[in-house]
């Protein structure tokens, strides 16, 4: 009976040791990643961008069109109009 209790206690100690080894490995890996990249902290990647609502998409398209027309006007004023602009 005492051997079974000792066996269980040894199992628990070994399980805790493995869990601590895994935690230390993860911490060391993060530390080495910071050293390799020169970053102060790890950067979390933001989730995928959400599509814009219809009104915001129209406003963005209008702003891009105004910017394109403004570039065309600047080129025309400077006398360097090209055949087509992107």
d(C-alpha 7, C-alpha 4), whole Å:
5
pLDDT tens for each residue of 2-46:
899 999 999 999 999 999 999 999 999 988 888 888 777 666 778
Q: Which of 55, 84, 85 is nearest to 67 (CA)?
A: 85
Average pLDDT for residues 35-61, to the nearest whole number?
81
Domain boundaries, given as residue ranges, for the chain: 1-41
pLDDT of residue 16: 97
Q: Between 73 and 55, whose confidence is greater?
A: 55
> Model's pTM, two decimal places?
0.43
């Amino acid at each position: 009976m005492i051997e079974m209790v000792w066996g269980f206690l040894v199992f628990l100690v070994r399980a805790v040791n493995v869990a601590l080894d895994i935690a230390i490995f993860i911490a060391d890996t993060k530390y080495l990643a910071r050293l390799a990249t020169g970053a102060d902290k790890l950067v979390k990647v933001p989730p995928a961008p959400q599509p814009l609502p219809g009104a915001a998409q129209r406003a963005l398209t209008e702003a891009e069109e105004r910017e394109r027309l403004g570039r065309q006007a600047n080129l025309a004023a400077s006398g360097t109009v090209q055949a087509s602009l992107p």
